């Protein structure tokens, strides 16, 4: 039992480090800088991977740890608020849809991407008002598209399941 716990903690630590690296690499893509709120979400491939190959709690621990570390390292309260809202909405929807078992990995991830952006939109609406409504179609489209691509990437990662013996 003790070895399993140590292995789980170590692997989650590796996943968080990898997620931070993927987020950093992604921040260098020009599309991220030009369109606020739009990103591929490479680190979310690890969320989907953990959701399917480990306990849902591991996926939540990964998300919370990665978001808090990003806040501590980069110190942006607005980014923390947007990330947390998106993560809560996304994780809740993915957990529910995964239980229904009507969608494959890419479909679950696409729904997660959509609701991640909707959670962020809700925060933007609260902070900035109705002016952000015109941006909603862009967020919906990008959330579904990037979520689908991340789900596809996650399915590829699952072929090489390193969390199982």
CATH number of the domain enclosing 136: 1.10.1760.20
- Which pLDDT value is given to residue 35? 66
Instruction: Quote the CA–CA distance of 70 and 147 in Å, as a whole number.
Output: 21
- Which pLDDT value is given to residue 148? 95
Helices 77-100 and 56-74, interaxial angle, to 10°?
A: 170
Residue 13 placed within a domain: yes
Instruction: Quote the CA–CA distance of 72 and 114 in Å, as a whole number.
Output: 26
Contact partners, residue 110, CB within 8 Å, separation at least 6: 103, 143, 144, 145, 147, 148, 151
Contact partners, residue 13, CB within 8 Å, separation at least 6: none
Instruction: Quote the CA–CA distance of 89 and 82 in Å, as a whole number.
Output: 11
Region 41-48 average pLDDT? 90
Region 17-42 average pLDDT? 77
Residue 163 placed within a domain: no
The candidate with the shortest Cα–Cα distance to 93, out of 127, 133, 38, 143, is 143
Specify whether the CB–CB gap between 152 and 114 falls below 8 A: no
Range with the poorest average pLDDT among 34-43, 83-92, 102-111: 34-43
Residue 123 placed within a domain: yes
- How many separate domains does the chain show? 1
**Residue span of the structural domain in which 84 resides:** 2-158
Residue 38 placed within a domain: yes
pTM of the entire structure?
0.86
Q: Please state, rounded to an integer, the average pLDDT across all residues of the chain.
A: 87
Residue 27 placed within a domain: yes
Contact partners, residue 31, CB within 8 Å, separation at least 6: 38, 39
Q: Tens digits of per-residue pLDDT, 92-148? A: 999 999 999 899 999 999 999 999 999 999 999 999 888 888 888 888 898 999 999
Residue 6 placed within a domain: yes
Residue 164 placed within a domain: no
């Amino acid at each position: 039992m003790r070895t399993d716990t140590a292995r789980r903690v170590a692997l989650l630590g590796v996943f968080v480090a990898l997620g931070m690296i993927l987020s950093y690499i992604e921040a260098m893509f020009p599309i991220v800088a030009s369109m606020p709120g739009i990103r591929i979400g490479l680190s979310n491939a690890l969320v989907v991977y953990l959701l399917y190959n480990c306990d849902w709690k591991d996926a939540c621990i990964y998300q919370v740890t990665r978001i808090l570390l990003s806040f501590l390292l980069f110190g942006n309260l607005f980014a923390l608020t947007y990330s947390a809202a998106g993560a809560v909405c996304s994780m809740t929807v993915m957990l529910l849809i995964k239980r229904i078992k009507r969608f494959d990995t890419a479909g679950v991830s696409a729904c997660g991407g959509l609701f991640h952006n909707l959670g962020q939109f809700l925060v933007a609406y609260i902070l900035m008002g109705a002016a952000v409504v015109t941006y909603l179609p862009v967020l919906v489209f990008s959330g579904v598209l990037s979520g689908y691509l991340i789900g596809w990437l996650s399915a590829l990662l699952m072929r090489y399941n390193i969390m199982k013996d």
